[in-house]
Amino acid sequence: GSPNDTFARAVAPVLALRVKQPVIVDDRPGGGTLIGVKAVTTSAPDGYTLLFTNTPTHVIAQFVADGIAYDPIRDFAPIVAVGKTSLVLVVSARTPAHTLQEFIAYARRNPGKLNFGFGQGTLPHLIGEAFKTATRSDIVSIPYRGG
């Protein structure tokens, strides 16, 4: 699963103990989390449905996805920040680059031959595109459907 799924599954048992209720993680993968967001925004407002999400659904989606049917400010109330993550750039051990500077030079020498994958509209998607722009490198962007 996604990092959201991993975090949610780690938090669920602790939350269940605190609220003395079962907490079930119901994955709705794909669409850069938008499928899950739709499920939450259309669910009964019973206080038992929570959205475990991150930046893309509340900041990025508004700019990269069509037909967003929710307002991240009006339709949601934040209750807690669960944690922080870091993004890292990793390459295959077979890549002849061992530092960032070497990788940038390698990418520039091999335009259109390197790829990076992402979920559409996710933070790695935006950072990958920003990296390409900042380094003036032609790296092929490959969106994945999630899951």
With CA atoms as reference, report the closest residue to 51 among 79, 89, 92, 83: 79
Distance CA 39, CA 68 (A): 13
Of 33-37, 115-119, 124-128, 134-138, the one with minimum mean pLDDT is: 33-37
E strand or H helix that includes residue 135: helix 123-135
Distance CA 143, CA 141 (A): 7
Q: Are 120 and 32 a contacting pair, CB within 8 Å?
A: yes
3-state secondary structure of 13: helix
Phi and psi at 142, nearest 5°, equal: -125, 105
pLDDT band at 107 (very low <50, low <70, confident <90, very high): very high
Q: Are 40 and 81 a contacting pair, CB within 8 Å?
A: no
User: What would the pLDDT profile of 53-71 be if each residue is shown by its tens digit?
Assistant: 887 777 777 777 777 888 8
Please report, rounded to a whole number, the percentage of residues in the chain having pLDDT higher than 90.
Answer: 46
Hey, what are 87's tokens?
A: 């993004």
pLDDT exceeds 70 at position 32: no
Q: Are 123 and 55 a contacting pair, CB within 8 Å?
A: yes
- Its CATH architecture, for the domain 100-144, is 3-Layer(aba) Sandwich (3.40)
Domain boundaries, the chain: 3-64, 100-144
Per the confidence metrics, is the pTM higher than 0.85? no
